[in-house]
Amino acid sequence: MSTTGLAASGELPELANVHWRERADEASLRRADRTWTLSIVAHEVPFLTTAIVLPLLAPVLAVVSVFALAFAWAIPALYAARGAGVLRPWRHRAADRSAERRALGFLGDLVGHETRDLVARTGLVVERGAFGVWVVGPAGALLVRPGGRRVQCYCVRVTDTDLPVADRVAHLLLALRADESGFATVANLTWSGACWRLRRHLSREAREGLAVAVARLR
């Protein structure tokens, strides 16, 4: 991975590895939101149409309608579950306990008092940015958009596999603080949709992080 050529202007050096991507800004994030909404509508319409029309043609086809409704419910849920995966608890080989403690203390030093309590309880950091409020975990982040109703899920991680979990969060937090637009560009958007749809697929800790982020926007 070559990342040494940039940073003179303060942008993330990792952008060099995704030079073909359009730099994320408010307009591109809104476009992504709209694309995801259209995609879900395109998935839903055929199933819902089937569920409504078939029983009108022949009542016995109501059985097929039930399956169509089940698909209409399940497909967005599967996408949301994929999005929720970015804050799934880290299950890879753990660093030793003293390293985890040191890393957690260091992460606590990087954030304010309010967020420090959240870090201790959940291992997640909530950080306000220009695009909304971020919930940062060890292998990804949520971006709760202004208004607190919509959320984007980003899969992004540090490339070193042996770091303590809290250090992984600190890596992402520092990259986010240094260049929010660059961070959103480097990260892979895995899902965008309603907060309520995502919430049911999150762990207890991630739900708390999401709730804090939404509260900071309202």
Partner 1 sequence: MSRLIRMDQTGHTVLAHWSPDDLAGTEAARAALQAELERGYLAVASEPDGTAVAVRDLPLDSQLVILRRPIAGG
The residues binding partner 1 (CB under 8 A) are 1, 3-4, 7-8, 10-14, 17-18, 86, 95, 98-103, 105-106, 110-112, 127, 139-140, 154-160, 162-164, 166-167, 170-172, 174-175, 177-179, 183, 186-188
Which residue lies nearer to partner 1 by CB, 4 or 218? 4
Which residue lies nearer to partner 1 by CB, 10 or 27? 10
Residue with tokens 């403690």: 101
Rg (CA), the chain: 20
Whether residue 141 contacts residue 134, with contact meaning beta carbons closer than 8 Å, is answered with yes
Which residue lies nearer to partner 1 by CB, 72 or 142? 142
- Across-strand partners of 39? none
Residues in the chain: 218
Which residue lies nearer to partner 1 by CB, 31 or 101? 101
Structure tokens at 138: 């060890």
Question: Cβ 67 to partner 1, closest distance in Å?
Answer: 34
Say how far apart CA 131 and CA 111 lie, in whole Å.
19
Say how far apart CA 85 and CA 140 lie, in whole Å.
8
Question: Cβ 158 to partner 1, closest distance in Å?
Answer: 5
